[in-house]
């Protein structure tokens, strides 16, 4: 079995980035990510019915997944600014997975969530929200990807 990080070097880079900073700065790093989450494109703005709600998150988070005919995956999120932790999680997944192929996204190990070293900083409830976000992305990709 190939090491998952070998398939997608970004996972290891992001986990490494979180591991490199002390605990006290890890949340700040997550906040920096949350600031970089791209806005929803025009075609999804205000169209929550076209997005999937991640009910496992503590604050409303909506998600859209597109798999192109070239197998490239694009991710779109809508998360409120007053919920920076949820936004930060969405932004990390966007940075890690957007633009990869469907196969690469599907190969993302669930352990990626715990490799960010956030377990001691946020509640278990929140980490489960992040894990659920990843699971829902993979589910949508597997539904849409032509085989």
Partner 1 sequence: MVLPPDQDPKFRGYARPEMLVSTQWLADHLGEPGLVVAESDEDVLLYETGHIPGAVKLDWHTELNDPVSRDYVDGVGFARLMSAKGIGRDTTLVIYGDKNNWWAAYALWVCTLFGHPDVRLLDGGRTKWLAEGRPISTERAVTAESDYPVIERDDAPIRAFRDQVLAHIGMPLIDVRSPGEYTGELLHMPDYPQEGALRGGHVPGAVNIPWARAAADDATFRPREELEAIYRDEAGLAPGDDIVVYCRIGERSSHTWFVLHHLLGFPNVRNYDGSWTEWGNSVGVPIRRGAAP
CA-atom Rg of the chain in angstroms: 15
Question: Are β-strands 52-53 and 62-67 bridged in parallel, bridged antiparallel, or unpaired?
Answer: antiparallel
The runs of H, that is alpha helices, within 41-123 are 84-97, 102-106
Nearest-angstrom CA–CA distance, 15 and 8: 12
Nearer to partner 1 by Cβ, of 81 and 147: the residue is 81
Residue 69: burial class (beta carbons within 10 Å; 0-12, 13-18, 19+) = exposed
Q: Is 6 in the site for partner 1 (CB under 8 A)?
A: no
Q: Minimum Å distance from CB 53 to partner 1?
A: 9
CA-nearest of 138, 107, 130, 139 to 12 is 107
What is the Cα 61 distance to its own chain's centre?
A: 11
Within 106-145, the residues that bind partner 1 by CB under 8 A are 120-123, 125-126, 128-129, 132
Among 14, 63, 64, 85, binds partner 1 (CB under 8 A): 85
Taking a C-beta distance cutoff of 8 angstroms, is the pair 80, 89 a contact?
no
Within 54-73, the residues that bind partner 1 by CB under 8 A are 55-60
Among 9, 49, 70, 81, binds partner 1 (CB under 8 A): 81
Q: How many residues bind partner 1 (CB under 8 A)?
A: 27
Among the candidate windows 79-87, 98-106, 107-115, 138-146, which touches partner 1 by CB under 8 A? 79-87
Nearer to partner 1 by Cβ, of 21 and 103: the residue is 21
**Residues at the interface with partner 1 (CB under 8 A):** 27-28, 30-31, 34, 55-60, 81-86, 88, 120-123, 125-126, 128-129, 132
């Amino acid at each position: 079995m190939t090491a998952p990080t070998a398939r997608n070097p970004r996972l290891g880079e992001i986990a490494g980035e979180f591991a490199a900073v002390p605990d006290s700065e890890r949340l700040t790093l997550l906040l920096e990510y949350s600031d970089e989450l791209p806005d929803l494109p025009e075609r999804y703005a205000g169209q929550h019915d076209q997005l999937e709600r991640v009910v496992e998150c503590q604050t409303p988070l909506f998600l859209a997944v597109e798999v192109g005919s070239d197998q490239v995956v694009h991710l779109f999120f809508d998360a409120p600014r007053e919920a920076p932790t949820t936004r930060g999680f969405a932004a990390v997944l966007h940075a890690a997975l957007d633009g990869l192929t469907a196969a690469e996204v599907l190969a993302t190990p669930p352990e990626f969530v715990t490799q960010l070293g956030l377990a001691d900083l946020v509640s278990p409830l929140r980490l489960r929200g992040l894990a659920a976000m990843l699971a829902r992305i993979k589910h949508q990709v597997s539904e849409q990807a032509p085989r």
